[in-house]
Structure 1
Amino acid sequence: MARLRDIVIDCARPAATARFWAAALDGYAVAPYGEAELARLHALGVAGPDDDPTVLIEPEAGGPRIWCQLVPEPKSAKNRLHLDLLATDLEAETGRLVGLGAGVLARYEDHHLLADPEGNEFCLFPVSDRADP
């Protein structure tokens, strides 16, 4: 039986995208850059964390890791896979995410469709008492 290990987000600006998702998600943070990691980047010709082509976002307590990886092509169509997030206050959380750089694509009765700063769509649902499918 397979287990989910990582979620990978293709992007043009991995460090900025990682900072957005680390701030957007409760319990996640951009992995710290120790001296060994900085030396590895420099050996690859990478100036520093802001130019890292693959930036890791780690969960504090279990759950999948998230990688933001540099790709040469821009996003050109709707995502084939997206994240669904939960919020206790849909409007307040939408405002917070917009303040971090997200865009609102649509507001539906039961959720909002947003996009991260790279244009990757995700949905934001209110926490409810009903069982999720």
Structure 2
Amino acid sequence: MGGRGYGAGMAIATYKDLCIDAAEPHALGAFWAGLLGWELNRHDDGDASLREGERVHVWLNRVPEPKTVKNRLHIDVDAESLDRATAAGATVQEELERWTVLRDPDGQEFCVFVRDEPVTRRFYELVWDITGGPDDAGRAAAWWSEVLGGRTGEQPGEFSWVEQVDGAPFESMVFVPVPEAKTTKNRVHIDVTTDDVRPLVALGARVLRGKGDGGLRWHVMADPEGNEFCAFTPD
């Protein structure tokens, strides 16, 4: 990725996996397994996961509420063509110069970058919408770099990113400014592991629901932009 890059910082948490809310996790899991090249595991409780060997990369969780607004986080995919996605049930929303915006069978937005060279890793980027301008996107990138480590960079006046995130199955997290405010719970979020959530809170994160609440095995949190994430701590 071009633009300005800045050195990696020390992490206070580690990237764990990605979670996607879905009306039908088994069906949506089959779609994303085919698109990303990972193994689908259908769980008895109706949820699903995508694995690469023993490593779980994606959890798909059943939720009752339908999708109502544009996703604040979405996946960018590298592919040889759009054929794999559209044959599996994706619909084209918008064709742009460098990529195509599609919707998966659950209506969730994602982007496909068609490559001329052989595709070795299909999960290209995780893109975050950030309310405001380029400076706001830069602050969000800096915050997540402080949490997860990695190297930050920017395309001046446009967007920012964090790359070289330890444990992530994608190249980078990209933070893009948008005019609209966050209005509802994100249908896509990340999980992290950490020894203690207090350093996250000291950086500006909020605990929305603590571990142990109603038998919860992790902390539900929000970053300074209000984006939900889950933090797993040792038992």
TM-score scaled by length of structure 2: 0.42
- RMSD of aligned Cα (Å): 2.3
Paired residue for 1:120? Answer: 108
Instruction: Report the CA distance between 1:65 and its aligned residue.
Output: 1.2
Trace 1:37-76 onto structure 2 (pairs within 5 A): 41=44, 52-60=45-53, 65-76=57-68
Of Structure 1 and Structure 2, the greater helix share is in 1
Q: 1:15 aligns with which of 26, 31, 40?
A: 26
Paired residue for 1:31? Answer: 41
After the TM superposition, which of the residue ranges 64-73 and 113-122 deviates more from structure 2? 64-73
What code does the residue aligned with 2:41 have?
A
Q: 1:82 aligns with which of 41, 52, 74?
A: 74
- The CA deviation string for residues 18-40 of structure 1, in whole angstroms up to 9 with x for no partner, is 011001112x011276xxxxxxx
Please give the alpha-carbon distance, in whole angstroms, between the structure 1 residues aligned to 2:26 and 2:50.
10
What code does the residue aligned with 2:106 have?
E
Runs of 4+ aligned residues of structure 1 deviating over 4 Å after TM superposition are none
Instruction: Report the CA distance between 1:6 and its aligned residue.
Output: 1.3
Runs (5+) with no aligned partner, structure 2: 1-10, 118-171, 175-235
Aligned length: 108
Instruction: Report the CA distance between 1:61 and its aligned residue.
Output: 8.0
Question: Which protein has the larger Cα radius of gyration, Structure 1 or Structure 2?
Answer: 2
Secondary structure of 1:9's partner?
strand
Instruction: Report the CA distance between 1:53 and its aligned residue.
Output: 2.8
Instruction: Report the CA distance between 1:108 and its aligned residue.
Output: 0.5
What code does the residue aligned with 1:23 have?
G
Runs (5+) with no aligned partner, structure 1: 34-40, 42-51
Trace 1:98-109 onto structure 2 (pairs within 5 A): 98-109=86-97
Greater RCO, 1 or 2 (C-alpha within 8 Å, sep 6+): 1
What code does the residue aligned with 1:68 have?
L
Task: State yes or no: 1:111 paired with 2:99.
Answer: yes
Please give the alpha-carbon distance, in whole angstroms, between the structure 2 residues aligned to 1:110 and 1:127.
10
TM-score scaled by length of structure 1: 0.71
Instruction: Report the CA distance between 1:3 and its aligned residue.
Output: 2.4
Provide the identity percentage: 35
Please give the alpha-carbon distance, in whole angstroms, between the structure 2 residues aligned to 1:72 and 1:108.
33
Please give the alpha-carbon distance, in whole angstroms, between the structure 1 residues aligned to 2:115 and 2:78.
6
